[in-house]
Structure 1
Amino acid sequence: MMNAQISKVDKRDARLSMAYITVAFIALAVGGLMGLLQTLVRSGKLELPGGINYYEILTAHGVLLGLGLTTYFILGFQFAAVSRTAGTLSSKARLSGWIGFIVMVIGTIFATWMILTNKATVLYTFYAPLQAHFLFYLGLTLLIVGSWIACGAMIATYMRWRKQNPGKPSPLLCFMVVVNSLLWIVCTLGVAGEVLFQLLPWSLGLVDTVNVLVSRTLFWYFGHPLVYFWLLPAYMAWYVIIPKIIGGKIFSDSLARLVFILFLLFSIPVGFHHQLTEPGIDASWKFVQVVLTFMVIIPSLMTAFSMFATFEMFGRSKGAKGLFGWLKKLPWKDARFVVPFIGMVAFIPAGAGGIINASNQMDQVVHNTIWVTGHFHLTVATTVVLTFFGISYWLIPHLTGRVFTKAMNRLAIIQAICWTIGMAFMSGSMHLEGLLGAPRRTAFTTYGNAQQALDWIPYQVAQAIGGSILFLGIVLIIVIVINLAFFAPKGEQDFPIGEIAENAEKTPMVLENWKIWLTVLAALILIAYTVPFMDMIQNAPPGSKGFKLW
């Protein structure tokens, strides 16, 4: 059985969590508007007013949603999860959480200000030789440093629990938060190094050049595990929260912990599969990292097995018969279940697309086409974001002392339907247009020859339709969030934590032996990156050697 836990998040911790979540939804509103404008421009239905650049709104959309919405929501959710399962935060941990929040907000303001004033039109990946104002890079640095402070507070709370409960497995949800926090800290070392030692000095004029290959490698050392930093909080909800919502039990505590350990080990040393077409990296090292990338498929399949085992066990306990009879027993009128479930289903084609992107031969067909953008919209903007919405429907009222009413439940299901339809238009047309060779990132419908431009127009119109429906979905979720934060009836909303099934195997303590797992992680990173990174430095082109490498 799960360790004894308090039933409610402390009010002081709740205010901290809500601060992060509030900024997340502000980022969703602004970034979502930028996304709508993008689709209208690409379809030829809108011409931006003077002074506004397409690539400016493209950068704002990617940074505010890919880094802003996700990071703030994840940290807010994780603070609440730690407080709920490992006990109220200490005053030092809570203070660290607030310091991290303030540092992040200052950084976010700097970066957003530079983007919206067209001084940081460098796209989501901010690749050199595109150069932004130094305040953009400083803002990114502050965002990362602030998140480290916040993650440190969570890890310290976990360590306090372990010290007070020697020899016992930690609460599952708290364990998952620690894994995701460690993943974030390790992977952001890459982008922090890129920004601090390359892009920031370069934008300040302290150096004339940077090694572009080193820059991109450091970015993708961070860029791929970023996907799992987004995904693992959704997995937390699937593994721990959803079983309680449906009235079932967690299939296996041990399997869930092993899945998270495998994601920690195999999500970081795989960045080269985003650089398969780039020269300067030996093909053998690309092959090594592609193999490691495919290892992530294993915990994904384990998760699918575990979740559907949980659903079937619940259905059978309610008298379900036949192969799929248990499906009828699931709570299809409860938005807290339905919305994340749609995200789970979307992850099936999203995962298949990820396998294509990571495959050397198949990636050649879709690399740098809008197929990749469609893939991101399935993984992050559907699987992850819908699960975050589902979390919000019980988390926000729990933190604000209100209840999730039947009216808001109905509106939440309508919102999910809007999102699903809009994303079907958006992501589906992006995948199809990508197969026709349409490039990602560009605003020009006439890119390429005239016949290509004509072939792409129907798909771009479909994206505009999808973007419009998705923006309606954003309006609905903002309405729901404001209601749950300020206007819903006062009351007690449960923070659902599932219990482990009675016949589940005992959790082995080796899964919490961090000396083993962090050593293995460090070894995998060194194996995957040391030799190719040395090659990039030793064989740097003229003009980028010595100090100018950085």
Structure 2
Amino acid sequence: METATAPAKQSNVFRNKGTMELRLSKNERRLVMSYMYVAFISLFIGGLMGLLQVLVRSGNFELPWGINYYTILTVHGVILGLVLTTFFIIGFQNALMGKTVGYSKKQLNWAWIGFAVMTIGMIIAAITILVGKANVLYTFYAPLQAHPAFYIGITLVVVGSWINAFVNFRQFYMWKKKHPDEKSPLLAFMVVINMLMWLIATLGVATAMLVQFIPWSLGYKNTINVLLSRTLFWYFGHPLVYFWLLPAYMAWYAIIPKIIGGKIFSDTLARFSFILFLFFSIPVGLHHQLTEPGLDSTWKFIQVILTFMVVIPSLMTAFSMFATFEITGRKKGYGGLFGWLKHLPWSDVRFLAPFIGMLAFIPGGAGGIVNASYQINTLVHNTIWVTGHFHLTAATTVVLTFFGIAYWLIPHLTGRKLTKSVNRLGIIQTILWTVGMLIMSISMHIQGLIGGPRRSAYSDYGGTAQATEWGAYQMAQAVGGTILFIAIVLMVYIFVKMIFFSPKGEEEFPIAQEEDNAEPTPRWTENWKLWIAITLVLILFAYTVPIMDVIQNAPPGSAPFDWPIGNS
């Protein structure tokens, strides 16, 4: 008589049990909303500073009350580039972790501590900038020197984010411990990748702060190694861009499919693309320093090559998203070459805002290729082209996706409904943002190509003839910036309305599932020791020799980490 035998266990793939979505507790919702409050207050303040900048550069407006242009420029860059993004991202990721792997009471307490440290640091840095003691711009390049409180505040923001990172790592570890043979939730996996990248990248800026800037600003050192400080900043500065971008990718891969009534195209592809971003987002910072002397051109070229490697996961993401759109449309019966495209939910702001963000990443990515293309970079380096590129990638792709997330996340956290009227206002806001950004960004790109400088308040820089040539583009930037500020005011109004005035109810936290016939996800996707080891090897390969050169070849008579700069 034959006896039934259990099927052999597959050792190379995970068992697909399907992960149950958890319900966010009241305290978890309060934590995430605390991050959202800071983020949207930052949006308004930073947006107002941006409006003032474009008005000044138009040549037809002067700042009142003796306000320094470089103060508002610093506020705009720091509060939008660092505060808005970091607070929104960590708040969003905390929501994802609470929904997929959950919090213990101790983990939640530490998450609150992380928020408190970040907020204290943000307040210290913001006050220092606002009183005019830190007009050092978003990059805080030496030999520009800020008050020590600015550097201490920024350092506290980083330390607070580290606390949140370790909380996320602990949550993920404890979930894996309880589910040893199961695939981790995709969104939790993505959060861990992003926070791992952030932790490694911020070691550069933390080192610069603790070893160079804080002792120098306190008067314990009279000198600073300028090139080393810039190299450490850009070791952090480029992965910062991907720290902004990967949460948008999380929404694209795992949330947008649910909103359009579809499923995730490929869990394995999504995980592998994030692994590739971890590899190639950090060892590439020298492509921001292509025009700086003191760095060997060979290593610049190597990092340019590594920079171009991020094209691969970007194209993987584009393929995955449009495959999801097409498969979903065809399952709903929409035929023809582009029938599926016409029937996407264009009237749903939760889809429309992120989709326009996706489209903006096409010219944004093309501009990034120019910026990283060695000799071509010399044409646009330190021109307002770079600012236009920044506003296409960070301020359109990322921010519009964040807005799209907010339209369902805020009602979900506050127990409100996304009403038709709010959805309609959201579509208007999205269109205003898109139009304003197109006008402003295109004019910045064109002015950059004819030599218009970035970071400068002087619209007549270069003489009367040059000012005349730039005038139309600067006026266009003022028009675009004004439309953008109107969109910001409308977004803040929508934010307040969703929290306090929308009818009470339950709004979905949309997380898509895999296709029913999806291939099992291989176990190698969660070989964390290997991925971290490869990342560190690439970083050591790309940075060891350049940093050793910068330290060893400092000017004669200066300490290895210092560079005499007189009384600057």
TM superposition score normalised by structure 1 = 0.99
**Map of 1:328 onto structure 2:** 342
Aligned to 2:4: none
- Residue of structure 1 equivalent to 2:93: 78
CA positional deviation for 1:5: 2.0
Instruction: Tell me, yes or no, if the aligned pair for 2:56 and 2:63 is still in contact at 8 Å.
Output: yes
RMSD: 1.1
More displaced 10-residue stretch of structure 1: 22-31 or 315-324:
315-324
1:8 to 23, 38, 48: 23
Which whole-Å CA distance do the structure 2 matches of 1:341 and 1:291 have between them?
Answer: 29
TM-fit CA distance, 1:319: 1.2
1:547, CA displacement in angstroms?
Answer: 6.1
Name structure 1 gaps, 5 residues minimum: none
- Deviation at residue 513 of structure 1 after TM alignment: 1.0
How far does residue 546 in structure 1 lie from its aligned partner after superposition?
Answer: 4.2
Contact 1:39 1:464 (C-alpha < 8 Å) held by counterparts: yes
Question: Which residue is equivalent to 2:238?
Answer: 224
Are the structure 2 counterparts of residues 543 and 91 from structure 1 closer, same or farther at C-alpha, using a change threshold of 3 Å?
farther
Offset, 1:10:
1.9
Task: State the identity as a percent.
Answer: 65
Alpha-carbon offset, residue 419 of structure 1: 0.1
Structure 1 position 531, deviation (Å): 0.8
**Cα distance in structure 1, aligned partners of 2:459 and 2:343:** 48
1:274-289 alignment runs, 5 A limit? 274-289=288-303
- CA offsets per residue over residues 53-76 of structure 1, 9 Å max, x none? 000000000000000100000000
Equivalent residue number for residue 37 of structure 1: 52
CA distance in 1: counterparts of 2:244 and 2:179, whole angstroms: 30
Q: Which amino acid aligns with 1:3?
A: G
Contact 1:210 1:544 in 2 (8 A): no
- Shift in CA distance, 217/454, structure 1 to aligned 2, threshold 3 Å: same
Confirm whether residue 66 of structure 1 aligns to residue 81 of structure 2: yes
TM-score if structure 2 supplies the norm length?
A: 0.95
The one-letter code matched in structure 1 to 2:139 is T
Larger radius of gyration: 2
Partner of 1:457: 471
Instruction: Give, in whole Å, the separation in 1 of the partners of 2:62 and 2:217.
Output: 31
What are the Cα deviations for residues 311-364 of structure 1, in whole angstroms up to 9, with x where unaligned?
A: 000010111222111111211110000110000000000000000100002111
Q: 1:195 aligns with which of 209, 219, 242?
A: 209
CA distance in 2, matches of 1:322, 1:25: 42
CA contact (8 A) 1:198 1:549 kept: no
Verify the 8 A CA contact 1:2 1:499 in the aligned structure 2. no
Counterpart of 2:431 in structure 1 is: 417
Could you say which residue in structure 2 is the equivalent of 1:518? 532
Q: How far has the Cα of 1:544 moved from its partner?
A: 3.1
| Residue number among 528, 536, 539 corresponding to 2:553 in the alignment | 539
1:105 lines up with 2:129 in the alignment: no
SS of 1:349's equivalent? helix
Q: For 1:241, which of 241, 244, 255 is the aligned residue?
A: 255
Aligned-pair CA distance for 1:548: 3.9
Which whole-Å CA distance do the structure 2 matches of 1:35 and 1:209 have between them?
Answer: 33
- Residue pair 2:272, 2:525 contacting (<8 A) in 1 also: yes
Q: How far, CA to CA, are the matches of 1:68 and 1:488 in structure 2?
A: 27
CA distance in 2, matches of 1:479, 1:2: 42
Kindly indicate whether the alpha-carbon contact (under 8 Å) linking 1:209 and 1:543 is maintained by their aligned counterparts in 2.
no
Once the two structures are superposed, the pairs formed by residues 420-439 of structure 1 within 5 Å of their partners are 420-439=434-453
Offset, 1:423: 0.1
Specify the alignment match of 1:381 in structure 2.
395
Aligned AA (2:518)? A
The residue correspondences of 1:210-221 to structure 2 (distance < 5 A) are 210-221=224-235
1:18 paired residue number:
33
Q: Which amino acid aligns with 2:40?
A: F
| AA partner of residue 537 (structure 2) | A
Between the two proteins, the alignment pairs up a number of residues equal to 549
Query: Which one is further off, 122-131 or 49-58?
Result: 49-58
SS at match of 1:67: helix
Does structure 1 residue 171 correspond to structure 2 residue 171?
A: no
Classify the secondary structure of the residue corresponding to 1:62. helix
Deviations along 1:65-115, one digit per CA (max 9) or x if unpaired, are: 00010000000000000000112x111111111111111111111111111
1:52 aligns with 2:52: no
The answer to whether the Cα contact below 8 Å between 1:210 and 1:548 also exists between their aligned partners in 2 is yes
The amino acid across from 2:223 in the alignment is T
Please, which runs of 5 or more residues in structure 2 have no aligned partner? 1-15
Q: What's the CA shift for 1:529?
A: 0.4
Residue 358 of structure 1 is matched in structure 2 by 372
Contact 2:121–2:155 (CA under 8 A) maintained in structure 1: yes
The secondary structure found in structure 1 opposite 2:295 is coil
Distance 2:17 2:550 in 1: 49
Given that 2:198 and 2:240 are in contact with CA atoms closer than 8 Å, whether structure 1 keeps it comes out as yes
Query: What does 1:128-143 correspond to in 2, within 5 Å?
Result: 128-143=142-157
Contact 1:5 1:86 in 2 (8 A): no
Q: CA deviation at 1:425?
A: 0.9
- CA distance in 1 between partners of 2:408 and 2:86 (Å): 19
Is 2:280–2:307's contact at 8 Å kept on the other side of the alignment?
Answer: yes
Distance in 1 between residues matched to 2:561 and 2:247, nearest whole Å: 40
Residue 281 and residue 402 in structure 1: after superposition, are their counterparts in 2 closer, same or farther (change >3 A)?
same
Distance (Å, rounded) in 2 between the aligned partners of 1:143 and 1:350: 28
Residues 552, 560 of structure 2: 8 Å contact kept: no
